[in-house]
Amino acid sequence: MRIRLGEASESFRQWAEERLGLKEVRDFLAHKKVPLHSATIWYYFGGITLFLFVIQVLTGILLLLYYRPTPAEAYESVQFIMTRVEFGWLVRSIHSWSANLMILSAFIHMFSVVFLHAYRRPREVTWLSGIALLGLSLAFGFSGYLLPWNEISYFATKVGTDMAASLPWIGEPLARFLRGGDDVGGATLTRFFGFHVAVLPGAMTLFLLVHLALVQKFGISVPPKVEEAAQQNRQPLAQMPFFPNFFLRELMAWYAALGVLGSLAALFPWELGVKADPFAPAPAGIRPEWYFLAPFYTLKLLPSHVWFIEGELLGLMAFTLLGVFWAMLPFWAVDRQGAVRTRLVTGAGVALLAYLGTFSALGYWR
């Protein structure tokens, strides 16, 4: 019997080998290495972000089974999911918490890339695709925030689209495109739902494939200091096999993320709030999700006019410039000789981190 089982297993392996070419995958994984140094821990955050995105896709599909994107039914359908559907509360809470953790993880990943100088040649396009992924994640957050059609999300979307409307030339048409009309309403909800479940996932998948393919092509970057130290000591760079060593460690990180996610969902279920009433006055203390707090608070601080330019317009223009400048980091981070301006980049990273941290905290507490 044992012999027969062994034979069956071997013949299945051969069958699969012929059809799937698993040996090539095994060989690829066997040769793939991950640098081992004091900052290796930061390499896990890319994987954690990917893991949380997969969670988002899976829970999002489950929510789609019951969610109805109309002003008359959206709130009630989410309420139904949370109270009547078996484990609906868990799925919705995990979807909401995972969205936030994914953006947090994406930010950590981005800043680790900055501080480890992993954006440098030849990884400029990898950086750009990463920035695009972060932008898409924020767009996911903004569009998803409205979907439960509650009071806070309704007015936050109103404020957000009003900000877009204040942009010169493209502001009005952009706001109309986002809202599907003059104001936030049923058309906006349908539109945001379309962006959230079709347009953004498509774009995200595309950029994700590009990002992952580039990471595979160029391998994982080694920080300049580690490289220099290895050269000075005339020692090869310490590495660990991607499979199974790094993969198993990454798996541990995913399990830990799952534990945090489950705890947050069970102990602090995501609130549904009060159903949106477009005719009611905006409640006090309207504020966006935490990742938009820093620009939101900055715009609140600006005077109505700075010289002859509207304060809000000036702020938006400054944020656009800052975004472009940040996205172009790999191109201004190296001098003409190709050397990385590590101090400048680290300083810029610390400054941006300090700004985001301080203004987000101020926006939250005030």
Q: Which residues lie near other proteins (CB under 8 A)? A: 79, 82-83, 89-90, 240, 244-245, 248-249, 251-252, 255-256, 258-259, 262-263, 266-269, 271-272
CB of residue 3 to other proteins, shortest distance in Å: 30
CB of residue 255 to other proteins, shortest distance in Å: 5
CB of residue 40 to other proteins, shortest distance in Å: 13
From 32, 37, 28, 29, select the one nearest 222 (Cα to Cα). Answer: 37
CB of residue 274 to other proteins, shortest distance in Å: 8
> What are the Cα distances from residue 150, in Å, to 36, 85, 156, 243, 275?
47, 20, 10, 46, 4
CB of residue 290 to other proteins, shortest distance in Å: 18
CB of residue 269 to other proteins, shortest distance in Å: 4
CB of residue 81 to other proteins, shortest distance in Å: 9
> Closer CB to other proteins, residue 55 or residue 175?
55
> Closer CB to other proteins, residue 5 or residue 267?
267
CB atoms within 10 A of CB 77: 20
> Closer CB to other proteins, residue 195 or residue 270?
270
For the chain, state the CA radius of gyration: 24
> Closer CB to other proteins, residue 230 or residue 272?
272
> Closer CB to other proteins, residue 41 or residue 350?
41
> Closer CB to other proteins, residue 110 or residue 261?
261
- Per the rule left: phi > 0, alpha: psi between -120 and 50, beta: everything else, 285 is left
> Closer CB to other proteins, residue 27 or residue 228?
27
CB of residue 284 to other proteins, shortest distance in Å: 16
> Closer CB to other proteins, residue 248 or residue 284?
248
